Structure 1
């Protein structure tokens, strides 16, 4: 991936996620060398207008980020990108969401529910993505079905060791 392409992706990420929900520029760029990590982009003209940042493991896939350029949000592009990704997967797909305690968080959960995701009722903490940031209590959603507690625990262990690179038990 060229630097200019990554810069476009990171600009969308900065416009879409608060600092606690994203890595530093250097930390995000470093992920490109991980064989389990992949960026999927939607391009209009020569401009990246949306992306999915995903992790692919033997037993499941994990969507770390999905974001659409603020200039084209609301056009259905995010749903189209996620639906295409879901359609190419024979493995369960997981993603993190904020607990549905605010209007915007509830809208996000409803967006994923309409796509076929299920809100998992087990506790989940996202480890910090940047030094100095706190743990972040989130919820997990899964597609095409919900997970048992044992399956959720196995997936969570993989996320903590492979995605977040922590050995801490949450």
Structure 2
């Protein structure tokens, strides 16, 4: 991946997520060296980056950490295309984190994933801080194509905590 492409991806990331949901530029770029981490992009015919999907590939499941579309081209089906292609590329379960459905925007996001076949799991979950000095972030786990059992959820959460967030498997206990 070119330096320019990564800069464009990070710019979309910063425009799309609160600081509490993204790593620093250096930490995010360092993930490119991790064999479990992947970036998928969608560009227009002229090569301009329109959106990206950042994911982790594990033996048991796949985890979508970020998906975002350039603010100039939102609403054109790019996010749906990226996610649909990602889902179709493997028969492994797909997990992602969403904010609890407290407001209209959060409910719309959950609805977007529901329309793609994701299910909202009803287990307590927190995202460990991505930057020093930040607090845990209460989130929900959505899964495709079906809900997780408690045993699956606990096993998948432990893997997310140790591999993605680099915290102990029993975090936050």
Under a length normalisation based on structure 2, what TM-score does the superposition of the two structures give? 0.97
* Pairs within 5 Å for 1:30-49: 30-44=30-44, 45-49=46-50
Under a length normalisation based on structure 1, what TM-score does the superposition of the two structures give? 0.98
Partner Cα distance (1:98, 1:163) in 2: 18
Could you tell me how far 1:133 is from its partner in structure 2?
Answer: 1.0
**Residue 73 (str. 1) matches residue 67 (str. 2):** no
SS at match of 1:35: coil
Match of 1:59 in 2: 60
Partner Cα distance (1:71, 1:55) in 2: 27
User: Runs of 4+ in structure 1 displaced over 4 angstroms?
Assistant: none
Match of 2:120 in 1: 119
Match of 1:161 in 2: 162
Could you tell me how far 1:119 is from its partner in structure 2?
Answer: 0.1
**Residue 149 (str. 1) matches residue 150 (str. 2):** yes
Count of matched residue positions in the alignment of Structure 1 and Structure 2: 170
Cα deviation digits, residues 15-36 of structure 1 (max 9, x gap): 0001001110001001000000
**Residue 101 (str. 1) matches residue 99 (str. 2):** no
Gaps of 5+ in 2: none
SS at match of 1:55: strand
Partner Cα distance (1:35, 1:156) in 2: 19
Match of 2:23 in 1: 23
Greater mean alpha carbon deviation, residues 43-52 or residues 27-36: 43-52
SS at match of 2:7: helix
Could you tell me how far 1:46 is from its partner in structure 2?
Answer: 2.1
SS at match of 2:140: strand
SS at match of 1:132: coil
Cα deviation digits, residues 19-62 of structure 1 (max 9, x gap): 00111000100100000000000011121110000000000000
Gaps of 5+ in 1: none
